[in-house]
Amino acid sequence: MITHVFPTPQAVGTALAATVVDAIVERPSLVLGLPTGRTPLPFYDALRRESVRRAVSWREVRTFNLDEFVGVPPTDAESYRAYMTRELFGPLGLPAAHIGFLDGTAPDLERECERYEEAIRAAGGIDLMILGIGANGHIGFNEPAAGLQARTHRARLEPETRASNAAQFGGDVARVPREALSMGMATICQARAVALMATGAGKAAAVRGMRDGAITAALPASFLQLHPSVTLWLDAAAATS
Ligand code: F6R
C-alpha cells in the first residue's frame, strides 16, 4: 500500500480531491465508488471547490455509493443519499441517471442488492473506490465478524457503528437503524484502484491493523492487502503507530 501523510484532515481532503479531479480530466466517464461519514467532509468540500476552479465537468462521471441505511427513504435528510446530494451531487449537478445508490426502502432488499451488483457491472466496474474506515476496522458496513460477505448484502450494524452515526440522527443513537445495505468485500476489492482516507487518532489502530496485521474478518479492511492498487490518505494522527 502506498501511504500519504498530511498534517490535517483538510490537507488530506485537498490532496485527494486534486487527484480525483486529475482522474476525471484524464477520463471524463470515470466510475467512482464513494463513502459517507465525517471523514470525507473536507474531501467533498475540496472536490466541489477544485471542480469549479478547474471547470471540470461531472456530466459523464458515474458514481456508486458504498452503503445506505435500511428503512430510511432516500428523500429523508438522514439518509446517505441526502448527505451525498448535499455534499456533492447537488452542487456539482450530477445527472440522476449517473448516480448509483442502494435503496434501503426497496420492497425486496435481496433483489435490491442484486440490482446494485448488476448496475456496477453494467457501468463497466468501479475505476476508483474511495473509502473511509471505522475505528473497528469496518469498511462500508462490512463489520468485524467470523466471516464476511463477498457481495452487496444486508448488514447488521455494530453498536459502536450505530453510535458513530448518531450525529446524523439528531444525536439519538436509538434512532440509528440497526441494518444497512452495503457493498461486500469482493465488490469493493474489484475496483481498479482504492483510495482510503483516515483521520484522527481514533483510527490509528485500525489503520495499523489494516496495513500491517494479519488478513482477518475480525478487521475487514485488512482484506485490502490483497488488492494491487491501494493508496492510504492519512492525517498525522491516524498515521501514528
Ligand atoms: C460510510 C462508510 C463507513 C465509514 C466509516 C467511517 O459510507 O462506508 O465505512 O467510512 O464508518 O466513518 P467516519 O468517517 O464518520 O468516521
DSSP state of 221: G
Q: How far is the CA of 39 from the centre of ligand 1 (A)?
A: 7
Where does ligand 1 bind, in terms of residues with CB under 6 Å?
35-39, 66-67, 132-134, 138-140, 164
pLDDT tens track for 149-191: 999 999 999 999 999 999 989 999 999 999 999 999 999 999 9
Mean pLDDT computed over 20-36: 98
The CA distance from 90 to 7, in Å, is: 30
Mean pLDDT of the chain: 97
Q: What is the pLDDT of residues 47-91, one digit of tens each?
A: 999 999 999 999 999 999 999 999 999 999 999 999 999 999 999
This prediction's pTM = 0.97
Query: What pLDDT is stored for residue 214 in this prediction?
Result: 98
